[in-house]
């Protein structure tokens, strides 16, 4: 770490600046007040974690104003304040993926306690897919008013589908997940991992601060991060997923014998 760059949030290693991304990279119908701002990103030379600190310290109201506006949820096809099944526009790819994912946990409908972390709705499409397969699912999203408080207790499965790349306070995230994960439970993370860092990495469609993508991981970065909380990390072949666990999970996931 130099005097001008932050330390890595995953392995605490030294970082370097790799360039900037225009805040307005995603085209919207209504220009954002921050459109045109250049957002710096840093990369860790040890674990490859790519991140921006521009939103570090932003509170929920500011994040909601700048990024997670209610109209963006509606444009995605569902209302975060509504209850019940998502409309057909959402019950397509995310819903189908949720159905496919739920099959790995078949047989756990009667005993598994599941948390959809960063659900995007109450329920979101992933949570609704699990519910439709007979599972009990709680939803949590700090930007959805009626589910903005994290439920108490431990969970057998915590789903983070396209969520972790939005997280900036990784220390707080670690404490939260560890406190809610059953020791024999599973943390299921889906995010797009990159393999190396170069100037071209910033051209990826996934590196979009306007969409809240401030934390871009490598598998090694996730390993370093979750090791600090005693959570093991391995890749799973389903939909670029990574799973975390403290002890051998109660379900096999076709990985454990």
- Note whether residue 185 is domain-resident: yes
* Assigned domain for 59 exists: yes
Residue 30 lies in a domain: yes
Q: Alpha helices, DSSP H only, in 144-197?
A: 170-180
Picking from 25-34, 58-67, 133-142, which range would have the lowest pLDDT averaged per residue? 25-34
Position 35 scores a pLDDT of 58
- Overall number of domains in the chain: 1
Range of the domain at 181: 15-245
Q: 33 or 229: which carries more pLDDT confidence?
A: 229
pLDDT, tens digit, 9 for 90 and up, residues 144-183: 999 999 999 999 999 999 999 999 999 999 999 999 999 9
The most confident of 20-29, 64-73, 135-144, by mean pLDDT: 135-144
Q: In 3D, which of 229, 221, 236, 252 has the Cα closest to residue 174?
A: 229
Residue 88 domain flag: yes
In a domain, 33, yes or no: yes
Is 143 inside any structural domain? yes
- C-beta separation of 244 from 186 below 8 A: yes
Per DSSP, the residues of 117-138 read ET-SSBT-HHHHHHHHTT-EEE
In this structure, is residue 2 part of a structural domain?
A: no
* Residue 29 in domain: yes
* CATH number of the domain encompassing residue 60: 3.40.50.150
């Amino acid at each position: 770490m130099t005097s001008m760059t932050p330390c890595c949030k995953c392995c605490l290693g030294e970082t370097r600046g790799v360039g900037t991304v225009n805040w307005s990279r995603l085209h919207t119908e209504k220009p954002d007040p921050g459109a045109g701002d250049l957002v710096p990103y840093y990369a860790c030379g040890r674990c490859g974690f790519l991140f921006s600190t521009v939103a570090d310290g932003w509170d929920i109201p500011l994040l909601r104003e700048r990024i997670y506006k209610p109209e963006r949820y509606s444009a995605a096809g569902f209302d975060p304040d509504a209850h019940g099944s998502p409309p057909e526009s959402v019950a397509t790819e995310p819903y189908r993926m949720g159905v496919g994912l739920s099959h790995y946990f078949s047989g756990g409908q009667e005993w598994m306690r599941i948390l959809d972390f960063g659900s995007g709705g109450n329920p979101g499409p992933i949570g609704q897919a699990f519910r439709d397969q007979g599972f009990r699912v709680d939803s949590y999203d700090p930007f959805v008013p009626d589910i903005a408080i994290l439920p108490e207790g431990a969970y057998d499965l915590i789903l983070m589908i396209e969520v972790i790349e939005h997280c900036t306070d990784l220390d707080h995230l670690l404490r939260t997940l560890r406190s809610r994960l059953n020791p024999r439970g599973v943390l299921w993370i889906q995010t797009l991992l990159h393999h190396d860092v170069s100037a071209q990495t910033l051209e990826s469609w996934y590196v979009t601060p306007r969409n809240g993508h401030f934390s871009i991981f490598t598998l090694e970065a996730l390993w370093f991060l979750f090791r600090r909380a005693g959570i093991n990390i391995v890749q799973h072949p389903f939909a670029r997923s990574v799973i975390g666990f403290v002890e051998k999970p109660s379900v096999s996931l076709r990985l454990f014998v």
